[in-house]
Structure 1
């Protein structure tokens, strides 16, 4: 369904209200994705995947990966502001709906998308009062546009009341503004300082030249009528609000239009302040624009941000002096967010790396706009390439490998970075390709970087080549070569180096030594990496060191200690959205839990981890050593459980989302099996043979929970499994017992309890 209509008519509000009303019909909820800040249609699938927190490390195309992820979901996807991406939205909607029977798409756009099977709902402006309605206060108050205007005027002037004296002015104001909600709100803002008659007079002075006869909405002098006239009304209402702003507010409005989405006060000062608009005048101007409904203030737990509605942003952009001024603003915007990322590279004393980069990740719409500015302007390509390198941590630690690959390849292919920067991009790309499972591509990029590094007068560049050789060798399973390269890189970088290169090399060397059977030497380098990470607040590297040390403790027989370290590492990976790290942590917890906890619990977790690996890359990096551990764990669990129980637990685990799997893994123990209530006291009866049942133990458990009156959603939460898994169990129960209703399941389960 596409909701269409002119700017300011309330398409987004209607869609949000509809989505809220329908939320209970979708087991997996409602996802709202704002597209106004996206300019590249090729990135549409990635933007939606990011909003869904789909791991961004798969080698498959974005649309196909997204379709696979949504295939078993019951979800309402709300795409807001699609008019600049009509074709891309239509294609993606068609792909997703074909793959996901439980998916529904609700879009807002100024025009229909043209997708197969699309329904279009055109939102018209609100009803405006007739002359007859204006003669009756109750009738006038019931008119849609009047009700909205009165609500907004009362907010600006709490003492305002609809009376016989002002009824005609209220009605005429609604008619002049064509019942367009945003136009009414912009006019109502002035009611705090001006009577309605004065507001109407100001509107007359501005609108009269472009109108036909007063109160008539047929063709005017220019031959424009109907819908086009309402477009013009909206533009005029925004322009009128612009006229009522102070000079500083008008200047700031134009400059703030450079932001694609939300921004905070620090960003506004960095981008918009100069000699014409000093930094100390930014906040008063921002406050004034909020008061005039030009800016929307969004209060978040840790900060306050602001945003503009699309039509208001478009008007502001048109007020800039020209392309050169916008280019200057975009360069300032880029510089601010580049500095933000650059500051996060070094963790201050007592700081937390994960916290810093979580904030950087939240600014992705602005970072993307900055990178696209550099990609579109050859003069900015060198800065763009440097920005890609500064954001290395975002690409490798925050679940954004594919985005990093896209921009690294772009600036390598389109830009002409100097040799050192080009070598850095090639090494970054090789590392990302290893994480994406493309070892052949990684080897090719590494060889190209090595050839460049020979001609660069920078020892650290050549050392980085050696380090990435070790990473590629590890991915290929050549542990002896990997240990040699990684050890050499660490030695060349020096014991005092504490940057990302040396710390990742130490973790990779530690895990390599583990698989070579060198447990004590592995513990030594992993322990050193952990201490260095703690000293510098490098929590992501610390989490990987903890994963390695959990394997060391496992080799030494300390399974409880190993399990505690793996769970601690998983919490950090979850904060950063590191899908590969989280998937490996899930595997480790399953391996360590096998033999210690309920085998059903461990089986679910093992297959939950395996399900996540299938989404992000080749399972367990394709490492034969990790895969061998997975196989051994699986064989132990198969021996510990009856075949039916194992297959049931494996199915449930494979259906878990990443969030469900992490929640399941972080539980200290598996939940105890539900027990039947004790029998009510009564006369003793001879024991009866237990009723034979065709249900599996898990199906019996689900049947008992149905008898308690729980919905499938509530059962899924109780058992920590996916909603679709419970749906499948209920369908199997109905089929096996030849029932047609849940009430029959409840009655059957109640009989068995007694």
Structure 2
């Protein structure tokens, strides 16, 4: 199937493979013919593209362009001596044609639900202006045609988005409306109505600051580009929004109803400001100069918890900078109506040698010390009948006295409640601990629209704070993804985000991104300028964590710095073996052994202390507790590790431990499910990467190559193929990688296989396998000679050199005929079967695949067994033997599912689609075909060999055979592999 994507930056693809014609004029010719489906005279086309040449020269150039198109896209054009056109029988999709047809039909009908859905579905095709970035030099007539098309399609897109936005606004579908309004603004930035829609929708969603920032952007655009100002209607709308700002009312409403931020947008203004003032209890809560962003669910949950009669002490626990204090103040503000004697904020930062906690509480409550009794007694007497909420902020540095005073006050005053913030629990009876996590972050593995990114609290906070510092700032399609990445780099920690957002005045996004990505320590340097009215430990993020660090005991500091060696989360066993102090900390060679340290118990205690103090995060994953450092804190710990002088020593120990770990788990086959085995590797992947990186840094090729080989099975099962070959390539390039020839041979064979089998890099694969073959002959390793011949045969097969492939593979089969290893012989049979199938010798291929199945059934390699069974099913499909094919495909799919072989599952689903088609279930075949496309895109992989050939034929056939192909295909794109499996199972049950 030929696919032309002309909306946005043009792309040409044939059977899902990108095609580059390498000629601007050849591309222009193909674009023009694709949009004008009729025969055109050669003379007219020559004049269109080469108007400044003679007729003879222009026609000669045209012949070259036609030849180039035929070279890359066979049978693309239908030509005669005098005319040419796009082949009428060609299966071709042109997004611009489909877009125009669908939109024009929809816009010509009444605006009902069906038309709205058609518009939603079709507008996604518009990825940018027609032939964006294309300029064909010297072809003015072509450029005029392209400009006309561009303007026409742009107008259709604008009208479609306008109608979608208006419909969403009319039906109060706010998120949908924001999504389309943002696209409308991007499409027509100087259209005032576009901005008006977006501003109104943002305000409806409670994003007041974003709405005001959008208005400012609109005003500047109109002034700078049109020398105009916003009209009266938009100006009045913004004035209404400014009058409606009431953050405090929003918080109170959430606390009363236990609702979410969506509920708040329905509130009106208070009936009487005088009544409000008379009924509001006293308080001393600080009034922040900036708005409170996000945390609406936490706010509602905390309000609900503190309204419970028996809940007396609630502690907000989390690392420094995560927003505990701000959340506590907001909760207190929301709960003021529920405590008739007020809500009182007690800042415990000044408490220390000169000020006691009791004095801080007394000062906040305006209670003066007397000579009678202790100050705690005086406080208890004052609070005995009070219905009051005290906010104890920053308890961690006086945790013992905070617990003692809280317990005495709560015992004395039955209607008193305390909300505390701390890095660790206060640990007295009745305490309810609530963890405060960083703000929500968008997943970097998924693609998000600009508006979808703005819905994340971390991104919203950055945008609001940046707009506060630079009023003209606005988040749009140009910077939203970078904002999301910055927030991810900062772990969603509010203090970090606020300090970095303030730098929007002096750094561009590109500079900020480059700095953050270049140096993890930049988290601190970017945030070096704090606010003058902040406590010293809040003036920089670095100082904040330094302050926490200085509160640790010496042994806790030592362990904290050592934890920086971990690349990701770690297990208790890992920290005990790597970070504990053994009896002899200088002598052991940690490249060859891992010592079991005698201080495991004390290491556990120190780690538990760091968890309690919120410097380390503990997570329950299945039956195991794992630990990790937030990235910002990890960067700080790295600085401390470097200063300690232990970095090389600790990284050597880390590498040694994970070399031993990988050896043990790579050979583990029995007594554990694939899912459990996989989860262990996934949990440790960050540490394996860190260990491999260290082996590269130190030139430890032997350790690095062995670790990579041990990890190879996991990488292959998970589809981490490019990562695998990248590590091998870099390790093999080390000078020390020449020392161990057996290890080098194994590494070349492994990565060479991945290069031809999965990645299609046949040239690199052949070079690697030829070096491996020479080493195997030098070492006299018959098994490796056979494996290398298999790999050379496989690469030749993929390059279309079938006869060369068969020669290599018959050599390897001869070698393995005397070898007891079933797996090696099975591989020779499988690859030889592939070569024979490519030569259309299906009967001979079936014999080889059947032999391979017989060998593998006697082995434990279920993953490989699935492959030749699938081929037997596909050969049965060639002969229309659907019952036989169904049996083979079902077994192959079940085997792939059992061992977690994702690519094998995808190939089986594609083969099942052919089976569905042969059985008359055309729509279901289209669903499966689309599900395969979605799975390949999600895994960034592609089918190869016979699977790819069969799938390409299937997609082309279904487009012509399925009357509702487009609609069914879009439905299938939403299906997961699990859903596809359920569809197959249901169909098989009905057919039984």
**Band the TM-score falls in, shorter-chain normalisation:** 0.5 to 0.7
1:592-611 Cα deviation digits (max 9, x unpaired): 22233621011221243245
- How do 1:12-91 residues align onto structure 2 when only pairs under 5 Å count? none
CA gap of 1:576–1:147, structure 2 versus 1, over 3 A, is: farther
Match of 2:798 in 1: 475
Task: Please say if 1:327 is aligned against 2:648.
Answer: yes
Look up the SS of the partner of 2:568 in the other structure. Answer: coil
Whether contact under 8 Å (2:570, 2:627) holds in the other structure is: yes
Match of 2:851 in 1: 525
Match of 2:766 in 1: 443
Q: CA deviation at 1:316?
A: 5.4
CA gap of 1:615–1:452, structure 2 versus 1, over 3 A, is: farther
> 2:396 and 2:971 mapped to 1: Cα distance?
53
- Equivalent residue for 1:497, pick from 821, 829, 834: 821
Q: CA deviation at 1:425?
A: 3.3
> 1:164 and 1:142 mapped to 2: Cα distance?
14
Match of 1:668 in 2: 986
- Equivalent residue for 1:134, pick from 356, 365, 385: 365
- Equivalent residue for 1:299, pick from 620, 643, 649: 620
> 1:296 and 1:274 mapped to 2: Cα distance?
22
Look up the SS of the partner of 2:407 in the other structure. Answer: coil
Q: CA deviation at 1:399?
A: 0.8
CA gap of 1:508–1:242, structure 2 versus 1, over 3 A, is: farther
Match of 1:207 in 2: none
> 1:663 and 1:404 mapped to 2: Cα distance?
29
Whether contact under 8 Å (2:701, 2:736) holds in the other structure is: yes
> 1:451 and 1:185 mapped to 2: Cα distance?
61
- Equivalent residue for 1:396, pick from 702, 710, 716: 716
> 1:154 and 1:572 mapped to 2: Cα distance?
61
CA gap of 1:503–1:264, structure 2 versus 1, over 3 A, is: farther
CA gap of 1:230–1:360, structure 2 versus 1, over 3 A, is: closer
CA gap of 1:569–1:251, structure 2 versus 1, over 3 A, is: farther
Task: Please say if 1:372 is aligned against 2:693.
Answer: yes
> 1:467 and 1:430 mapped to 2: Cα distance?
11
Look up the SS of the partner of 1:160 in the other structure. Answer: helix
> 1:155 and 1:588 mapped to 2: Cα distance?
67
> 1:274 and 1:510 mapped to 2: Cα distance?
57
> 1:398 and 1:660 mapped to 2: Cα distance?
17
Look up the SS of the partner of 1:363 in the other structure. Answer: helix
Look up the SS of the partner of 2:646 in the other structure. Answer: helix
Look up the SS of the partner of 2:622 in the other structure. Answer: coil
> 1:154 and 1:526 mapped to 2: Cα distance?
74
Q: CA deviation at 1:401?
A: 0.7
> 2:747 and 2:976 mapped to 1: Cα distance?
30
Instruction: For structure 1, list consecutive stretches of 5 or more residues without a partner in the other structure.
Output: 1-57, 61-70, 74-96, 102-116, 175-180, 193-216, 673-754
Match of 2:967 in 1: 648
Look up the SS of the partner of 1:471 in the other structure. Answer: helix
Look up the SS of the partner of 1:620 in the other structure. Answer: coil
CA gap of 1:524–1:457, structure 2 versus 1, over 3 A, is: same
Instruction: For structure 2, list consecutive stretches of 5 or more residues without a partner in the other structure.
Output: 1-16, 20-122, 126-181, 187-216, 218-289, 294-320, 330-344, 348-359, 368-382, 430-529, 584-596
Task: Please say if 1:240 is aligned against 2:525.
Answer: no
Tell me which structure has the larger Cα radius of gyration.
2
Task: Please say if 1:432 is aligned against 2:765.
Answer: no
> 1:591 and 1:241 mapped to 2: Cα distance?
65
Match of 2:407 in 1: 160
TM-score, scaled to structure 2: 0.44
1:499-548 Cα deviation digits (max 9, x unpaired): 6x55544543444455532255234323234314xx43x34223324323
Which structure has more relative contact order (CA 8 Å, sep 6+)? It is: 1
Match of 1:580 in 2: 903
> 1:464 and 1:358 mapped to 2: Cα distance?
30
1:51-81 Cα deviation digits (max 9, x unpaired): xxxxxxx999xxxxxxxxxx979xxxxxxxx
Q: CA deviation at 1:252?
A: 4.3
1:680-730 Cα deviation digits (max 9, x unpaired): xxxxxxxxxxxxxxxxxxxxxxxxxxxxxxxxxxxxxxxxxxxxxxxxxxx
CA gap of 1:326–1:671, structure 2 versus 1, over 3 A, is: same
Whether contact under 8 Å (1:483, 1:509) holds in the other structure is: yes
Match of 2:8 in 1: none
Q: CA deviation at 1:306?
A: 2.1
Look up the SS of the partner of 1:297 in the other structure. Answer: strand
CA gap of 1:671–1:558, structure 2 versus 1, over 3 A, is: closer
Whether contact under 8 Å (1:375, 1:411) holds in the other structure is: yes
Whether contact under 8 Å (2:569, 2:683) holds in the other structure is: no
Whether contact under 8 Å (1:603, 1:650) holds in the other structure is: yes
Whether contact under 8 Å (2:882, 2:918) holds in the other structure is: no
> 2:718 and 2:974 mapped to 1: Cα distance?
21
Look up the SS of the partner of 1:394 in the other structure. Answer: helix
Whether contact under 8 Å (1:586, 1:665) holds in the other structure is: no
TM-score, scaled to structure 1: 0.56
Q: CA deviation at 1:357?
A: 4.0
Q: CA deviation at 1:251?
A: 5.2
- How do 1:75-224 residues align onto structure 2 when only pairs under 5 Å count? 126=326, 129=346, 133-135=364-366, 146=393, 160=407, 162=409, 184-186=422-424, 188-189=425-426
> 1:555 and 1:410 mapped to 2: Cα distance?
44
> 1:639 and 1:311 mapped to 2: Cα distance?
55
Match of 2:116 in 1: none
> 1:467 and 1:376 mapped to 2: Cα distance?
34
CA gap of 1:436–1:348, structure 2 versus 1, over 3 A, is: closer
Length, aligned pairs only: 513
Whether contact under 8 Å (2:346, 2:364) holds in the other structure is: yes
1:321-345 Cα deviation digits (max 9, x unpaired): 9676332322222222223332333
Task: Please say if 1:460 is aligned against 2:783.
Answer: yes
Q: CA deviation at 1:384?
A: 1.1
Q: CA deviation at 1:403?
A: 0.4
Task: Please say if 1:609 is aligned against 2:932.
Answer: yes
> 2:735 and 2:387 mapped to 1: Cα distance?
63
> 1:446 and 1:154 mapped to 2: Cα distance?
69
- How do 1:411-426 residues align onto structure 2 when only pairs under 5 Å count? 411-418=731-738, 419-426=741-748
Match of 2:921 in 1: 598
Match of 2:565 in 1: 258
CA gap of 1:628–1:233, structure 2 versus 1, over 3 A, is: closer
Whether contact under 8 Å (1:374, 1:384) holds in the other structure is: yes
Whether contact under 8 Å (1:344, 1:353) holds in the other structure is: no
